[in-house]
Amino acid sequence: MVFSSEQSYVSSALTDKNYLVSASATSTATSIISQEDADRLALIKAKSVSQDSANTQASLANIASANERVPSLSYYLNVDDVVNSVVYVDTTIKDPSVTTDASYFYGRVKLYNLENNNYEGICSASFMCSQNSTGTYTDITNFISLDNGLIVSWLTPSSILNLELDSIINGMVTECIVKATTKIGKSDLFYGKTFNLKVSSSNGKIYFYFTSSI
C-alpha cells in the first residue's frame, strides 16, 4: 500500500509537472505571437504615419507653389502692327435688323517687353463689332502667349466711339483677373497662377501689366 501510495504521488507529481510545462509553453508561445503581432501593427502604424506626413508635406508644397508670388510683368504691342495684320471675316446683317452696321476681324502681333523692348511673345485677338441706334460695341476675345511660359486669355466687352480700326483696337483697354490655365511643354512657372491684368492705351501702343494675385 505504501508503494502504491508513493507511485500515485509520483504520478500525480509528474502530471502536475507536465501541466506546468505545457502551460508555460503555451504562455510563452502566446507571448511570442502577441509580440510579433504588436511589432507588425507598430510597423503598419509607422508606415501609415509616414505616408500621412508625406501627403501633408506634398499638400503644403502644392499650396506654397500655388500661392508663390511671381514677378510683375509688363508688355506692349503696337496698334499699327494690329492694323497691318488684320484678317476680315464677312458679316451679313439680316434685313430688317436693329443692327445698322457690323464688322468682324482678327489680328495677331508681336508683344514686346516694356523693360528692354525685346520681342518675347504674341498677342492675338478677334473683334466682333456691331452698331445700332444706341451705340457702337465690340466683344473682344484676347489671347497672350509669352516665351517664358505664361499663357492667358480673357474677354473684353466694350463700348467704342465708332467702327474705325483704331477705335476698335483701343477697345482692348480693361482691368481684369486672369488665370494661367494652359501649359505647353514642361514650364510650370506660371501654370495655375492668378494675375491682376491691367490693359491701357497710350501713344499708339497697348500696354499689358501683370501683377501676381493670391
pTM, rounded to two decimals:
0.67
Q: Which residue in this structure is represented by grid cell 503598419?
A: 44
Residue at which a domain ends, from 67, 88, 112: 67
Buried b (16+ CB within 10 A) or exposed e, 179-200: ebeeeeeeeeebbebbbebebe
Share the mean pLDDT of the chain. 81
Residue at which a domain ends, from 67, 88, 116: 67
Q: Indicate the helix (H) or strand (E) that contains 196.
A: strand 194-202
Does the pLDDT of residue 7 top 70, yes or no? Answer: no
Q: What is the pLDDT of residue 11?
A: 47
**Ranges assigned E (strand) in 17-116:** 73-78, 87-89, 101-113
DSSP string for residues in 132-194: ETTEEEEEEEEEEEETTS-EEEEEEEEEES-S-HHHHHGGG-EEEEEE-----TT--SSTT-E
Q: Are 63 and 136 in a shared domain?
A: no
Does the pLDDT of residue 56 top 80, yes or no? Answer: no
Q: Are 163 and 61 in a shared domain?
A: no
Domain that holds residue 8: 1-67
As given in the structure block, the three cell numbers for residue 56 are 501633408
Range scoring the smallest mean pLDDT among 18-22, 76-80, 159-163, 187-191? 18-22
The residues with which 156 forms a beta bridge, in sequence order, are 140
As given in the structure block, the three cell numbers for residue 84 are 497691318
